[in-house]
């Protein structure tokens, strides 16, 4: 290969999963993508991709080229960015993935301000109800709330965030105030479907004592704002992040239940790739994001 264009071309095919999807991304016809791929294979003397009508599979040589090539591209882009920074501000594209509700309320304003302060940086924000199930290599930063399963990404703490059991005052008046976590099993509850978790099994602790309760839910949704509104309307009990319900508790629209019992924290973290190889724009954005939530996050002010 004489330049990085061929490597970037192959990485686009890998990231999009098919020649047709890659052609849309590149703005080319499918036949043009196929022809270019054949030219690269001829140049290297190796078959890189096995193509059938239904499936596209990279060969061992193709996978090696993409793996090592991605590392080289990242190093080259970082080098070029550092050189350009010496003559001005941050440049390039920053791709961020975040949960729907938190992204709308708290992350979108931060990103807009960051971009305004760094006009040569293009920021692409993607909101998802399951950010961890997205292809992590498509994003520079993935914002996550809660416990992190095994991952090869690097975690950066953004803000503390507790989780509260809540219901409306009208609901408490009708059903009573639960005294123990086990009491929740007999109450109508509302659950949030996210990250393929067991969302109806709620865990609590008081000192060294732990309790887990399986709640009954007739209402569920993958959008936290919906279940919060349902709870405010008196339709059931929710277990929800502090960032989402703190204002409703202050305004009296929701009442915190079981204050003596603690649900597992769900701190806000940001995930990136290897810490040492981050482009300058990503490192600066992480610092900017952390600074915006200090000394206290807005839900605790």
CATH of 5-84, one of 1.25.40.10, 3.10.20.30, 1.10.10.10, 1.20.140.10: 1.10.10.10
Superfamily name with CATH number, domain 89-161+267-300: Periplasmic binding protein-like II (3.40.190.10)
Helices 19-26, 5-16: axis angle to 10 degrees equals 120
Question: What does the domain layout of the chain look like in residue ranges?
Answer: 5-84, 89-161+267-300, 163-257
The pair of structure tokens assigned to 109 is: 């304003």
DSSP 299: G
* CA–CA distance, 10 with 41 (Å, rounded to integer): 11
| SS3 label, residue 17 | coil
Q: Report the pLDDT value the prediction gives residue 131, as an integer from 0 to 100.
A: 63
Start-end of H helices in the chain: 5-16, 19-26, 30-44, 60-85, 100-102, 108-117, 169-175, 224-232, 242-251, 280-292
Q: What is the mean pLDDT of each run of 10 residues along the chain (301 residues)?
A: 76 84 82 87 86 79 86 77 64 90 95 93 88 68 83 86 97 95 96 82 94 94 94 97 96 96 94 78 92 94 78
* CA–CA distance, 33 with 40 (Å, rounded to integer): 11
| SS3 label, residue 69 | helix
DSSP 105: I
CA dihedral 21, 22, 23, 24 (to 10 degrees): 50
* CA–CA distance, 155 with 153 (Å, rounded to integer): 6
Q: Domain 163-257: which topology?
A: D-Maltodextrin-Binding Protein; domain 2 (3.40.190)
The pair of structure tokens assigned to 226 is: 């919906």
Element (H, E) at 205: strand 201-206
| SS3 label, residue 86 | coil
CB distance 123 to 114 below 8 Å? yes
- Cβ-based burial of 145 (10 A; exposed 0-12, middle 13-18, buried ≥19): buried
Q: Measured in Å, how far apart are the chain's first and last C-alpha atoms? A: 56
Same fold for the domain at 89-161+267-300 and the one at 163-257? yes
The pair of structure tokens assigned to 77 is: 């882009």
């Amino acid at each position: 290969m004489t330049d990085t264009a061929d490597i970037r071309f192959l990485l686009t095919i890998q990231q999009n999963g098919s020649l047709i999807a890659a052609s849309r991304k590149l703005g080319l016809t499918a036949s043009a993508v196929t022809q270019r791929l054949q030219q690269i294979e001829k140049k290297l003397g190796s078959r890189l991709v096995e193509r059938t009508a239904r499936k596209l599979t990279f060969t061992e040589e193709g996978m090696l080229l993409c793996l090592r090539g991605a590392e080289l591209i990242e190093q080259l882009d970082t080098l070029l960015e550092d050189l350009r920074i010496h003559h001005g501000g941050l440049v390039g594209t920053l791709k961020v993935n975040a949960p729907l509700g938190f992204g709308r309320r708290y992350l979108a304003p931060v990103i807009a301000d960051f971009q305004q302060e760094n006009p040569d940086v293009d920021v692409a924000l993607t909101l998802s109800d399951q950010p961890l199930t997205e292809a992590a290599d498509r994003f520079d930063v993935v914002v996550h709330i809660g416990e992190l399963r095994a991952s090869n990404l690097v975690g950066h703490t953004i803000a503390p965030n507790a989780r509260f059991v809540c219901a409306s005052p009208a609901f408490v008046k009708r059903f009573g105030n639960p005294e123990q976590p086990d009491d929740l099993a007999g109450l109508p509850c509302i659950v949030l479907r996210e990250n393929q978790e067991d969302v109806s099994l709620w865990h609590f602790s008081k000192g060294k004592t732990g309790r887990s309760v399986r709640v009954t839910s007739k209402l569920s949704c993958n959008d936290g704002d919906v279940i919060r509104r349902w709870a405010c309307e008196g339709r059931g009990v929710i277990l929800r992040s502090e960032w989402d319900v703190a204002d409703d508790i202050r305004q009296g629209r929701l009442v915190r239940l079981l204050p003596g019992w603690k649900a597992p924290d769900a701190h806000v973290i940001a995930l990136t790739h290897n810490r040492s190889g981050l482009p300058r724009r990503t490192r600066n954005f992480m610092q900017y994001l952390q600074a915006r939530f200090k000394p206290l996050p807005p839900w605790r002010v």
